[in-house]
Amino acid sequence: MTLSGDTAAGRLAIIAGGGLLPSYVAEAARAAGENPVIVALKDESDRRWEGYDHAVVGIGDFAALDGLFNRYGVGRVVMSGSVRRRPEWREVRPTLRILMKVPAAIRTLLSGGDDTVLQMVIRLIEGNGRRVVGAHEIAPDLLAAVGPLGAVAPGEEDRRDIARAAEAAEMLGRLDVGQGAVSIGGRVVAMEGLEGTDEMLERVTGLRAAGRISPRRRGALVKLCKPQQDIRADLPAIGASTVFNAKKAGLAGIAVEAGRSLVLDRAGVIRAANEAGLFVCGIDRGLPAWGLE
């Protein structure tokens, strides 16, 4: 087994929330010669981690996290996967160092936007001499690139929907509310809050069923990274299930921010998109027409 140079700086820990991403990161880490230790977040991580050194830690239990990092000699930390709950006050088990910063740290953990909370968590981890790295640094193949991923490319009307939904998603991100929006026929019909992308797409499916969206208009889902967010945490992600849900919602396709979004199971996403006749593409806010022309 070849150890990467970074490994000398301490073992890699993967803090695993929900969804598919932690598995992809763990596999990519092994493929790169790492021996990651998995910290599965209680009530969030939804797979079993047999075959890896692993432990389960409650959200907000920074004391246990610190103990684990010390025991395994962790030098680098990746945060990956979704975290749906915020800790309750009684669940936060601060370390002595955190206590010195109370109440600012605790207040942030309990009530800030996602981005604010992640910044605080990163600072707390790095304050102990460890380094937080992005999932995309461990698994760079997951990053979306500019342009269509499958056989279908967005048409002119789709590009208009992409531009409209991207404008809305960017604004949502600036407010640290969410990362996604849906435009249909040039009109933003849904914006993602705490409920997440899949539930937002279900809402669009419901609006269609109720006859509130023309069946002749297809539309696009756009997911963007929040402009100010630390890309080491919570990059927007899509997988094959996102494609299925977009199809159910009657959309023409999905656009995600190139270089700042993750495509999980790329082969599965392409297969799902081609079978459904949907486009899936990367877009770049720095390029004319989002790099789509």
Q: Which residues bind a second copy (CB under 8 A)?
A: 84-86, 88-89, 110-113, 167-168, 171-172, 175-178, 182, 185-191, 193-195, 199, 203, 206-207, 210-214, 216-217
> Minimal distance in Å, beta carbon 110 to a second copy?
7
Nearer to a second copy (CB atom), residue 86 or residue 93: 86
Supply 254's token pair: 């999905």
d(CA 79, CA 271): 28
Query: Do the Cβ atoms of 144 and 270 come closer than 8 Å?
Result: no
> Minimal distance in Å, beta carbon 234 to a second copy?
15
Nearer to a second copy (CB atom), residue 184 or residue 255: 184
Nearer to a second copy (CB atom), residue 66 or residue 161: 161
Whole-Å CA distances, 283 to 80, 103, 108, 188, 201: 23, 40, 32, 18, 20
The torsion defined by the Cα of 281, 155, 179 and 285, in degrees rounded to 10, comes to 80
The two beta strands, 74-80 and 11-16, are parallel
> Minimal distance in Å, beta carbon 242 to a second copy?
18
Query: Do the Cβ atoms of 263 and 149 come closer than 8 Å?
Result: yes
> Minimal distance in Å, beta carbon 156 to a second copy?
13
Amino acid at 40: A
> Minimal distance in Å, beta carbon 230 to a second copy?
18
> Minimal distance in Å, beta carbon 240 to a second copy?
24
Nearer to a second copy (CB atom), residue 63 or residue 177: 177
> Minimal distance in Å, beta carbon 248 to a second copy?
17
Q: Is the peptide bond before 36 cis (omega within 30 degrees of 0)?
A: no
Nearer to a second copy (CB atom), residue 176 or residue 198: 176
CA nearest to 190, candidates 155, 214, 210, 164: 164
Nearer to a second copy (CB atom), residue 51 or residue 211: 211
Query: Do the Cβ atoms of 150 and 270 come closer than 8 Å?
Result: yes
Nearer to a second copy (CB atom), residue 97 or residue 187: 187
Phi, psi of 11 (to 5 degrees): -70, 155
d(CA 38, CA 22): 9
